[in-house]
Structure 1
Amino acid sequence: MTSEAAELLEIVWGRASTSPVSASQLRVLFILEHNEGINLRSLADALGSTPPSTSRLCDRLQAVGYVERRPSATSRRELRLFLSPRGSSFLRELRSRREAALESVLAQMPASQRTALLRGLESFCAAAAAQFHDDGAMDARTA
């Protein structure tokens, strides 16, 4: 059931196109949104990728105007990555399209089932947040 739900979400969200960015580039935008000024190595670590691959992702995102690179205040050799105003606008519009697509599906469900889904999603979010927090604490201890 989990994989079927994930696939259906992909189909629903597919209607809310992420063009002109790929799924990997979209992950970069989400990370930058929550980690303003992250450096390339930290971004690569967050993606589970290499700095050269991550740099190429950022090159493409910078070319479409979604990412800005700025020199670090502490090191002239280091660049910091930021979501540009255009990138922020893209994410807002994408979320709006995705929300509309989900609302269309939810409107077809009986109210009692929507309530049950809400309770389940609240529990899911709490469990996922706890797991991510625990994983982050584990990473900090092993670093």
Structure 2
Amino acid sequence: MTRTSDDEVLLGLTRTVMGVSTAAADRLGGISVVQLRALTVLRALGTATLGELAQGMAVTLSTTSRLVDRLVAAGLVVREPAPGNRRALALRVAPDGQQALDRYDGDRLEALRETLDRLPEAARAGVLSAFAAFTDAARPLGRAVAS
């Protein structure tokens, strides 16, 4: 497959953002990138069933079940009976999970701000505007709620 210069720019952006995210995840210690993705999706959903979380992550129910077991054991997710349905379980981010997400977001923002500050001041507003448009374009595709 032949890549265009646009393709190389997009791959560079992806590698940069993934590098920032991976480094921030490493600084948290003990929480994997997959667990952070689950916490991020669950935070966006608010309260969810196991099936809703699996669907939001685009993974199987059995994979999500094992992942949630580890998140509950780590105190990052709360699993409780769903209101109005004793057979169903509701999941939500626990306070410790929210703190981890806040630290993760803070570390990523710090790294991205440092990078943005390296651009000429006159270019920063245009870059942020382009990123906002790019993010808006990703939403209908379900790609805006990643970790």
Q: Which has the higher contact order (CA 8 A, sep 6+)?
A: 2
Q: Which residue of 1 aligns with 2:20?
A: 12
Structure 1 Cα separation of the partners of residues 13 and 64 of structure 2: 30
Report how far residue 14 of structure 1 moved: 2.9
Report how far residue 130 of structure 1 moved: 4.1
CA offsets 1:34-82 (integer angstroms, 9 cap, x no match):
2122101111122222211101000111111100000012221111001
Q: Which residue of 2 aligns with 1:44?
A: 54
Q: Across the two proteins, how many residue pairs are aligned to each other?
A: 133
Equivalent of 1:91 in 96, 101, 112: 101
Structure 2 Cα separation of the partners of residues 125 and 8 of structure 1: 16
Equivalent of 1:2 in 3, 10, 16: 10
Q: For the aligned residues, what is the CA RMSD?
A: 1.7
* TM-score (norm: length of structure 2): 0.82
Q: Share of identical aligned residues, percent? A: 31
CA offsets 1:76-99 (integer angstroms, 9 cap, x no match):
111100100111111111111111
- Letter in structure 2 aligned against 1:6: T
Report how far residue 118 of structure 1 moved: 1.2
Report how far residue 26 of structure 1 moved: 1.3
Equivalent of 2:110 in 100, 106, 121: 100
More displaced stretch, 82-91 vs 32-41: 32-41
What SS class does the counterpart of residue 15 from structure 1 fall into?
helix
* TM-score (norm: length of structure 1): 0.84
Structure 1: which 5+ runs fail to align?
133-143
Structure 2: which 5+ runs fail to align?
1-8, 143-147
Structure 2 Cα separation of the partners of residues 49 and 131 of structure 1: 16
- Letter in structure 1 aligned against 2:125: T
Report how far residue 131 of structure 1 moved: 4.1
Structure 1 Cα separation of the partners of residues 110 and 47 of structure 2: 31
Structure 2 Cα separation of the partners of residues 69 and 112 of structure 1: 48
